[in-house]
Amino acid sequence: MKKMIYWSVLIYVLYCAGIALYLFWFSDASIPTEWRGTSADPSSFLTSGEQHLSERYSDLKNFLYFASIPYDWFVYLLILLLGISNMLQKWAQRATKAFWMQTALYVFWLSLIITAAALPLELASYHFSRAYGISTQSMSSWLRDEVTDFLISTLLLFFVITVLYGLIRRFEKRWWFFAWLISIPLTIFLMFIQPVVIDPLYNKFYPLKNHALEAEILSLAQQAHIPADHVFEVNMSEKTNALNAYVTGIGSHARIVLWDTTVERLKQEEVLFIMAHEMGHYVMKHIYWGIAGSIVLAFFGLWMVSRLMSWALAKWRKHLRIKAVGELASLPLLLLIMSLLQFSVTPLTNMVSRYEEHAADKYAVELTEDADAGISTFQKLAKAGLSEVYPPYLVKIFRYTHPTIFERIVFLEQQKSENGHK
């Protein structure tokens, strides 16, 4: 056990050192020579000071991301190797004989331990966002969101684990298949209720205040044959200076949402371009394709989890202090394996997402016929969020669900020259 902990610490330290060297010293953020001096060149829309801040902030943010994921794995491993998971299970079993109550007690304390362990990195991320002027959120508001996250995630985890471990105990070999079947309606249900139940716990949503702008957006929606009655605005200025808009939910609960920072700081034609982009997602049914993709990944993921858990117990049962997969004490192992698998497919899911976002950009420029509005929008998005215009390749494949700012502007410039868009 000591050797496993020692080697885990050593590997993690060496990994963080390697990531730091890559991000802070060896990565190159300079754009290709042929695009220097164009609208895709950050020096054309950012001052030298803003470029420096963007690079430093992006490096810190990216380092925290790459450091936090294996840190979570290390926490799960320590909880197993130090016998904490086994101790929590025994305590829950002594407290009550009802399995669902045992699960509730175990999940609550395990979630509390994991949240406390992750708090230093979460605080560091919040501090850097405040220091670089991205976040405007007060500490009390940030803590309130953290508590809300904890309560929602713990409640969902309790529900999922109660069902999942009930299946594991009843269907030792095929539990993963029945868990997958149950996950399908659950995934759809969560997507359906998120806009009206979960999102309002964090922010206030209301119909767009600018009625003239809303009329223009609804007119654009009509051109795209989208049955829309309202555009929603959310008061994100209380928490951030960044700009954003998105589509969420499915069916009658689907919403197009604008951050109030976007409404206040972009020109009308720029907002319309963003809305056309979001309408592209709706028209091309990207939300439904995303749900279908999640269901397919869940099938293979749960199958892999079942195989890897059995393999890990056969090899390290004594060290992990787990007797059987159906024990609650095996939950950190399940979370560890799921996190590893999710991280391993991140480049693939991000690549699919970037393809969809590029398709939405193409739809937006075709609908509005205003490439210049898109170019100025992406420049302002980079400026407001201190986004890295030309990120390192490793950062792009693991972090970017959208094409880079550089790629998006280059595409619009090409559209202008090829199709004559203004």
Question: What is the rounded CA–CA span in Å between residue 384 and residue 392?
Answer: 20
Q: Which residues pair with 258 in a beta bridge?
A: 233, 245
Least confident range of 144-153, 190-199, 258-267, 306-315: 190-199
Domain count, the chain: 1
pLDDT at 422 over 70: no
What is the per-residue pLDDT across 325-364, written as a single tens digit (0 to 9) for each? 999 999 999 999 999 999 999 999 999 999 999 999 999 9
Let me know if residue 241 belongs to a domain.
no
In whole angstroms, give the CA distance from residue 383 to residue 399. Answer: 19
Among 207-216, 224-233, 405-414, which stretch is predicted with the lowest mean pLDDT? 224-233
Please report whether residue 210 resides in a domain: no
Give pLDDT, residue 232. Answer: 87
pLDDT score for 187: 87
Residues 6+ apart with CB under 8 A from 91: 105
Average pLDDT along the chain: 91
pTM of this prediction exceeds 0.85: yes
What is the rounded distance in angstroms from the CA atom of residue 210 to the CA atom of residue 401? 30
Q: What is the pLDDT of residue 360?
A: 96
The answer as to whether 221 is a domain residue is no
Question: For residue 2, what pLDDT is reported?
Answer: 79
Across the range 396-417, mean pLDDT stands at 94
The pLDDT, as a whole number, for residue 282 is 87
> Quick one: average pLDDT of 82-87?
94
278 is catalytic: yes
* Range 118-146 average pLDDT: 94
Q: Is residue 245 situated within a structural domain?
A: no
Mean of pLDDT values over 191-200: 82
pLDDT interval class at 3 (50, 70, 90): confident
Residue 312 binned pLDDT confidence (cut-offs 50, 70, 90): very high
Q: How high is the pLDDT of residue 228?
A: 67
Whether 24 is in a domain gets the answer yes
Q: Greater confidence, 228 or 133? A: 133
Residue 413 lies in a domain: yes
Structural domain boundaries, residue 414 = 2-203+286-419
248 forms bridges with which residues in the sheet? 255
Asked if the model's pLDDT at residue 421 lies above 60, the reply is: no
Proportion of the chain above pLDDT 70, given as a percent: 98
What pLDDT is stored for residue 220 in this prediction? Answer: 85
| Residue 355 counted as domain residue | yes
Question: Which residue is catalytic, options 233, 278, 327, 388?
Answer: 278
The C-alpha atoms of residue 60 and residue 67 are separated, in whole angstroms, by: 10
Q: What is the pLDDT of residue 345?
A: 96
CB-side neighbour CA atoms (13 Å) of 176: 18
pLDDT higher than threshold 70 for residue 155? yes
In this prediction, residue 121 carries a pLDDT of: 95
CA distance 394 to 371: 29
Is 187 or 418 the better-scoring residue by pLDDT?
Answer: 187
Instruction: Specify the pLDDT at position 189.
Output: 85
For 386, phi and psi rounded to 5 degrees? 50, 40
Q: What sign does the dihedral 119-121-127-129 (CA atoms) show?
A: negative
Say what the pLDDT of residue 28 is. Answer: 84
Check whether 416 has a pLDDT greater than 90: no
In a domain, 271, yes or no: no
Query: Can you state the angle between helices 331-368 and 211-223, rounded to 10 degrees?
Result: 90
> Is residue 247 scored above 80 in pLDDT?
no
